[in-house]
Chain A
Amino acid sequence: MALRESELDGVAALELGGAIATLVLLCLGEAFHRSAYFDVPVVCVVLTWIGVLVFTRFFAKDVP
């Protein structure tokens, strides 16, 4: 997506990828049945949020 379309389309795909990564980590934590593993998706959500906000801030600076 990032290669074929514009950079903001890539950011949109990154957002969806972050959500899916969080769900995958949740399912993995359940599969291993370890409660400590459930902290990882929480961190993943926050890092995805920060990452996307940094990207949007960066691309907003391009606008004159």
Chain B
Amino acid sequence: MSNVAVDVLLAIGVAAELLCCIGVVVMRTTADRLHYVSAGYTVGPFFVLAALLVREQLSQIGLDALAAIFLLFLFGPVVIHATARVVRLREEHK
């Protein structure tokens, strides 16, 4: 039962990341692409973390994965905001 849950969560995480990649390629403007990048920083990693925690519980490996995903959650919005700010500055000065 636990293995099935891990497989399903991992598959959802990979599918989410794949969708984000497709969105980044297909969208027209940089701002639209950044929305998909933002989703790639949150949705996919959440499911991968859930899969890891189901498999490892709160062991050393689970806590390390938790730290990595926490940093991803923390730093993701910062870099996306920084990029969006530069995009807006460039559009204003066109």
Interface positions of A (Cβ within 8 A of B): 1, 6, 8-9, 11-13, 15-16, 19-20, 22-23, 26-27, 29-30, 33, 35, 38-39, 41-42, 45-46, 48-49, 52-53, 56-57, 59-60, 62-64
Interface SS of chain B: helix, strand, loop or mixed?
Answer: helix
Is there a chain A Cβ closer than 8 Å to B15's Cβ?
A: no
Determine the distance from Cα of A1 to Cα of B60 in the docked complex, in whole angstroms: 38
Tell whether, in the assembled complex, residue A23 and residue B48 are in contact, meaning their CB atoms are under 8 Å apart: yes
Which chain B residues have a beta carbon within 8 Å of chain A's beta carbons? 10, 13, 17, 20-21, 24-25, 30, 33-34, 36-37, 40-41, 44-45, 48, 52, 55-56, 60-61, 64-65, 67-69, 71-72, 75-76, 78-80, 82-83, 85-87, 89-90, 93
